[in-house]
Amino acid sequence: MKVQFTETALRDANQSLIATRLPYERFEGILETMNKAGYYSLECWGGATFDSCLRYLNEDPWERLRKIRAKCPDTKLQMLLRGQNLLGYKHYPDDVVRMFVKKSIENGIDIIRIFDALNDVRNIEVAVDETIKNGAIASGAISYTKSPIHNLDAYVKLAKDMENMGCQSICIKDMAGIMGPQEAFDTVKALKESVKVPIILHTHSTTGLGMLTLQKAVEAGCDIIDTAISSFSGGTSQAPTETMAYALMQEGYEVDLDMAVLKEINDFFKPIKAEFLKSGQLNPVVLSTDTDALNYQVPGGMLSNLVAQLTAQNKMDKFPEVLAETPRVRKDLGYPPLVTPMSQMVGVQATANVLAGERYKNISKEVKAYIRGEYGRAPGEIDKDLQKKVLGDDEPITCRFADTLEPGFEKAKAEIGDKAQSDEDVLSYIAFPTQAEAFFDKRDEKKRNTFTYAIQKID
Ligand code: CO
C-alpha cells in the first residue's frame, strides 16, 4: 500500500512554531530541492501566510506564490482556505470568494483544502465549486473535535456531503492535536468504507500523540499524511517527515520520498531553526510535549489564552472555575469545534461568566452574532434560554449567511482605486484592508525611490 506526504514546513509548521515569520528569501534556496523530494504536495500558502506577508514581512503574498510556483514546477502547491471566510473570520460575499479562489489557482495553487469552523458545509460550497471549475483539486476538510454529538456517524455524513459536493479528497483536520491513535484508526476506517476519494489526516504533535495517530491512521487506510521536515517538526507543529517515512517504509508501505533529498532539506532548515531559537522568535516551549489539552479536552493554544487573560486581570485563582465553565459554555453553544474563532469566543465567554459571578450577564458581540446564526449552523442545539436572552422574540438566521451579503469585489476595487495594481491587489485589500493599504503605500514609495535613482544615474 502506498502512503503519500504533504510537507507543511512552509505553511503550518512555519505558522505553528514561528508565527509565520519566515521571509521568502530565507527558503528560496531550498525550493528547487523540495520540488524533487517526491511529496504529494507542498502546503505553502493560505492560513496565516497571507496576513503575515502583508503585516510583518512586507511581501506581496501573490508574488510569493508565483515565485514558489516557478521554483517548484513538478510538485502540487497547496493552500488552506476557511471556506466563505477565506483567510479570516468574517463571511465574504460569493463574488469575492469566487474571485479569490480563481486568482489563487491562476497564480499557482493546485490543491485548495477548504474547511468551515462549524463544519457547516454550506460555507464551503462556493469555494469548492469555484475550485473545481478552475481545474484545481478541492479537498474538503472536516474540523475534528470531540463532543457528545461529534461521533463517527456525523463525520461519515460530513465526508459524504463533501464527496457529493465534488471534493476530490477528504481531510480530517485535527487542529488541536487531540485525536488519539484509536480514534484516528476508527475514523479513517469509517470514512474509507463510506467514500471513494482519498483520505488525508492532518494533526499536530502538541500532545505527543502525532506520530502514533498518523501511524494508526495509515494502518486504517489513510492515503496521505501531513508532516513537517524534522527540524521544523514536533510540539505545536506536525510529526517529522523523515521519521514517519522511515517507519512506514520499514513496515512495507510504499513511500515515494527520496531520503537523501529530505536530508538536504533538513540540513537547510536546521540553521534557520537555530537562528529563530537564538532570536527568541522560536520559543522552546512550543517544541515540547504538552498533555494538558488531553486532560481538559481543549486545545493547547486555548489554554494559554485563558491563562494570559486571567493573568492580565490578576485573577489566576479563578483558573479552575474557568476551566470547569468552558465545557458548559461550549455545550450551551451547541458544541462548536474549538478552532479559531470559536475557541476564543468560548474562552472569553467562560471567563466573563466566572468573573462576573453570573452566567451570561455580559455576552460578547461575537457570541451574539453566532447565536443569531451569522457564523453558520451550530453543530448541536443552542441552549434555549441563552438563545431567548440574545434574540428576544426574533428568529435566528437559517439561510446561508453569505446570501444576505451584497457583492463586494467591484465596490472594494473602486474604494482602493489606483493603489491597487491588479485584481490580486484588490483581493489583498478585501482580506486585510489596513495591512494591504500600508503595503501598497510602501511599495509606491519604493518605486518612486527607484525612479529617482534611475534618473540620477542617467544624469
Ligand atoms: Co494545522
Average pLDDT per consecutive 10 residues, the chain (459 residues; last block may be shorter): 98 94 98 98 96 96 98 98 95 98 98 97 98 98 95 97 98 95 98 98 96 98 98 96 98 98 98 96 90 81 83 92 94 94 92 96 95 96 96 92 97 97 98 97 80 49
Which pLDDT value is given to residue 307?
86
- Expressed in angstroms and rounded, the spacing between residue 115 Cα and the centre of ligand 1 is 12
Last residue of a domain, one of 279, 310, 342: 279
Check whether residue 146 and residue 291 sit in a common domain.
Answer: no
- Beta carbons within 10 angstroms of residue 307's beta carbon: 13
DSSP per position, 279-317: HTSS-HHHHS--THHHHHSS-HHHHHHHHHHHHHTT-GG
What is the whole-number distance in angstroms between the Cα of residue 331 and the centre of ligand 1? 24
CA of 6 to the centre of ligand 1 (A): 12
List all residues 6 or more positions away from 428 whose beta carbon is below 8 Å from its beta carbon.
Answer: 50, 54, 60, 61, 62, 436, 439
Helical H runs in 35-177?
49-55, 61-71, 94-106, 125-133, 152-165
Q: Which of 257, 279, 301 is the last residue of a domain?
A: 279
What's the 174 CA to ligand 1 centre distance in angstroms?
7
**What spacing in Å lies between the alpha carbon of 357 and ligand 1's midpoint?**
35
What is the CATH number for 60? 3.20.20.70
DSSP 341: T
Q: How far, in Å, from the CA of 12 to the mean position of ligand 1?
A: 6
Rounded to the nearest whole angstrom, what is the distance from the C-alpha of residue 78 to the centroid of ligand 1? Answer: 13
Kindly give the distance from the C-alpha atom of residue 81 to the centroid of ligand 1, in angstroms, as a whole number.
12
Query: Is 299 found in the same domain as 198?
Result: no
- Expressed in angstroms and rounded, the spacing between residue 47 Cα and the centre of ligand 1 is 9
Same domain, 331 and 374: yes
Dihedrals φ, ψ of 183, to 5°?
-65, -40
Structural domain boundaries, residue 116? 4-279
Separation in Å, CA 401 to CA 5, 19, 91, 304: 35, 30, 7, 31
Query: 297 and 345, same structural domain?
Result: yes
| Centre of ligand 1 from the C-alpha of residue 421, in Å | 32
pTM value?
0.94
Q: How far is the CA of 11 from the centre of ligand 1 (A)?
A: 9
Q: How far is ligand 1, taken at its centre, from the CA of residue 306, in Å?
A: 20
Query: Residue 171: what pLDDT?
Result: 98
The CA distances from residue 2 to 170, 203, 221, in Å, are 17, 19, 9
Ligand 1 center from residue 45 Cα (angstroms): 13
Q: What is the CATH number of the domain that holds 313?
A: 1.10.472.90
Query: 394 and 368, same structural domain?
Result: yes
* Same domain for 380 and 356: yes
Whether 66 and 87 map to the same domain: the answer is yes
Do 229 and 249 sit in the same domain of this protein?
Answer: yes
Q: How many angstroms does the Cα of residue 395 sit away from the middle of ligand 1?
A: 35
Q: How far is the centre of ligand 1, averaged over its atoms, from the C-alpha of 455 (Å)?
A: 49
Residues 252 and 322 in one domain: no
313, 419: one domain: no
CA of 46 to the centre of ligand 1 (A): 12
Total domains in the chain come to: 3
Residues 242 and 314 both lie in one domain: no
389 C-alpha to ligand 1 centroid (Å):
35
Residue ending a domain, choose from 256, 279, 302: 279
Between the CA of 203 and the centroid of ligand 1 the distance, in Å, is 6
Is the same domain home to 426 and 396?
Answer: no
Q: Which residue has the cell 491587489?
A: 425
As to burial, measured by CB atoms within 10 angstroms (0-12 exposed, 13-18 middle, 19+ buried), residue 384 is exposed
